[in-house]
Chains A and B, each alone.
Chain A
Amino acid sequence: MDRSTQIALGVLGLLACFPLVVENDYYLHLLILAFMWVVIGTAWNLIAGYTGQVSFGDAAFFGMGAYTAGLLEYHMGISAWWGVPLAGVTATLLALPFGWICFRLRGAYFALATLALNEVMRHTATIWEDFTDGMVGIMILQTFESKLPYYYIVLGLAVVTIVIIELVMKSKWGYYFLSIREDQDTAESIGINTTTYKMISLTIAAALTGIAGGFYMNYMGFIDPEVVFSLHDISIMAILVGIVGGVGTVYGPAVGAFVMVVVQELFRTGGFGVVTSLAESSGSEILTTFALYMTKAHVLGFGILVVVVIRYLPNGIVGDWDRITALWRRGQQS
């Protein structure tokens, strides 16, 4: 067992005990979201980080999963929990024809095609009002009042996702994925059917993302096209989770998920209420406007984060860990 696995197991143990020690719905909610992002980010990392096919449209699969679960209960009265595994199937059904059409494109052009898929899905969900209720969205009753069951379900999903990715990347498929990322032409010339393996990678990623979407429907109880097919809040967030943590590393997206959920919350709550309360107590007008702006600025924060991370930490926290620690040590010596 290497060191990163030991750390991961230790963290997992702590997280499993966390709700027993801290009974605070707010922290549980944040952790539930973080775990959900671990699933989505890890799935994105498989197709983008390991296989080198950057997807800008994860929301298409996420939304597909969420709508599968929601519509199942809404139209047929079947519990939305059945929608979670089914979401994996429908997301796969979406990924297969899409991959078949779009894997003739390379690099950035594939990325654009995924962006187009994202938009097509969003427009479809909005326009097809008879089936999806359009902008009104879908509301279902949540099964559990307590957050605890959700916490353990999504923690389980996150662990299963990471294990699946580990196993896949250690198998023959994993090496094929890496070879496609490094050099598609060479991979093709030594007899790897690149289209097939890109499809496999996309399918696994889409199924996992869809399952995360199905879970989101069950947990939040409400979805509409603007939320689940959102380019900024889902697709870009998935990319950020991946690159902040570190693309092409097993635990990178998991680290990224926690960082991003904290950053998102930091903006949404005005520095966890610190800036707001400072503004109130000091009565300073500048701070008050600043706090007001901050709560609205999470997209701006994301944008700046994209620019800064790509510019200075191109391999993410996990991928550039050696560089970060080296800088830290140098800083301490001088």
Chain B
Amino acid sequence: MDLFLQTLIAGLLKGGLYALIGTGMTLIMGVMGIINLAHGQLMMVAMYLTYSAYALLGLDPYLSLFISMPVIFILGMLIQKYLLNPLVHTETILPENQVLMTVGIGMVLTEVMRFIFTSDYKSVKTAYSNATYFIGEISFSVPLMINFLIAIGVTLLLFWFLIKTDMGRSIRATAQDKEAAALMGVNPERTTYITFGLGAALVAAAGTLLVPIFYLYPDIGGPFTRRAFVICILGGLGSTVGAIFGGVTLGLVEAFAATYIAMEFEEMAGLVIFIMVLLFLPGGFKRLTGV
């Protein structure tokens, strides 16, 4: 029973971070209709930013949120403006040009980071990295708890932004109907920059939060990109609420697969779930709940 509870808690805490990653991806998907296959790589860049801030300035990883999020936000805006938007107007046979472009961007980001930091594993050890406390027999990792709380905070901020502000309303309107939104006076170009920046900033937050508990290396982006799209398929494409469900579900599935089957199956489990959802519940949570 303890093992079960312990796994449940670990899965839930991890799921909070996954929700953050998935929300960023699903926002981009909802507004631009593209799958950002550079998502995990943007997260990796944020992780290296956090690492550098710690190594050079001795900055606490959690404070780096205030560096990594704006920097990646601007990087995301630039990518959307100069690399993705121009493709909308070019005549091509392949409809997935933008998705292919994100693959290329992801490769460039990974290799540039490899140049600067080499392929070695790096980690940031803080005083609280290994801190845990116990309730009965069940351990709670302190950094994971902090991460979970910050993830919830960032998500709430995002919802406030989407629901209450003008820009947030424009984003939601564009996601629902691009042409109608443009007719209502929403600047579609600007909305796409902001959305991509926002999605990138969210995944950057997740990356920074991972730094104290995880190690980092340039190829870490790929697995997280794959997790992000599994989350989006689980939650229903373009649904922010769905992405939170999807993130928590994936966190739980991975935790249970790792505990009850074998460590190696952690990543496989997510992909199996992905195929199961496609088979039995195409449309994901969004179809069940309608949000």
A: residues with CB less than 8 A from B are 48-49, 52, 54, 56, 101-102, 104-105, 107-109, 111-113, 115-116, 119-120, 123-124, 126-127, 181, 231-232, 236, 239, 243, 247-248, 293, 297, 299-300, 302-307, 310-311, 314-315, 319
Contact = CB atoms under 8 A, between A and B. Distances in A.
A54 B83 CA distance: 20
Q: Which of the listed residues A49, A239, A314 has the most CB atoms from chain B within 10 Å of its own CB?
A: A314
Contacts of B96: 54, 107-108, 111
B108 interface: yes
A123 B237 CA distance: 26
Contact of A52 (B95, B99, B110): B95
Given A54-B100, A303-B104, A315-B93, A310 B268 contact: no
A104 B282 contact: yes
A-B CB proximity, top 8 nearest: A306-B104, A303-B107, A300-B111, A303-B108, A314-B92, A307-B104, A54-B96, A248-B93
Given A111-B96, A310-B87, 15 more contacts: A54-B94, A101-B275, A105-B282, A107-B95, A108-B96, A112-B229, A116-B226, A119-B226, A123-B264, A302-B107, A306-B103, A307-B104, A310-B104, A311-B101, A314-B92
Contact of A300 (B100, B107, B275): B107
Contacts of B35: 108-109, 111-112
A304 B103 CA distance: 10
Contacts of B99: 54, 108, 111
B278 A127 contact: no
Nearest to B91: A314
B86 A48 contact: no
Contacts of A115: 37, 226, 229
B100 A104 contact: no
B112 interface: yes
Nearest to A53: B96
A247 B111 contact: no
13 contacts: A52-B94, A104-B278, A108-B96, A109-B35, A116-B271, A123-B271, A236-B103, A300-B107, A302-B104, A303-B106, A303-B111, A307-B108, A310-B104
B268 A319 contact: no
B48 to A, nearest CB: 16
B111 A299 contact: yes
Contacts of A314: 87, 90-92, 94, 97
Contact of B275 (A116, A123, A306): A116
Interface in B171-215: none
Given A109-B237, A111-B99, A116-B275, A299 B107 contact: yes
Interface of B: 34-35, 37, 83, 86-87, 90-97, 99-101, 103-108, 110-112, 114-115, 222, 226, 229-230, 233, 237, 264-265, 267-268, 271-272, 274-275, 278-279, 282
A127 B265 contact: yes
B246 to A, nearest CB: 14
A101 B233 CA distance: 14
A169 B99 CA distance: 26
B100 A239 contact: yes
B167 to A, nearest CB: 26
B50 to A, nearest CB: 23
Contacts of A113: 274-275, 278
A49 B93 contact: yes
A83 to B, nearest CB: 26
Contacts of B271: 116, 119-120, 123
A18 to B, nearest CB: 32
A193 to B, nearest CB: 19
Contact of B107 (A56, A104, A232): A232
Given A116-B274, A123-B264, A306-B100, A231 B93 contact: no
A52 B90 CA distance: 17
Contacts of B264: 123, 126-127
B89 to A, nearest CB: 11
Contact of B115 (A48, A52, A111, A293): A293
A120 B110 CA distance: 22
Contacts of B34: 108
Given A105-B278, A127-B268, A311 B112 contact: no
B100 A310 contact: yes
Contacts of B112: 300
A236 B107 contact: yes
A319 B87 CA distance: 17
Contacts of A123: 264, 267-268, 271
Contacts of A111: 35, 96, 99
A48 B114 CA distance: 31
A314 B96 CA distance: 11
Contact of A307 (B101, B229, B230, B268): B101
Nearest to A302: B107
Nearest to A242: B94
B238 to A, nearest CB: 12
Given A243-B94, A247-B93, A247-B94, A310 B237 contact: no
Given A111-B96, A119-B226, A306-B100, A101 B278 contact: yes
Nearest to A301: B111
A266 to B, nearest CB: 16
A304 B110 CA distance: 12
A225 to B, nearest CB: 12
A54 B94 CA distance: 8
Contacts of B97: 310, 314
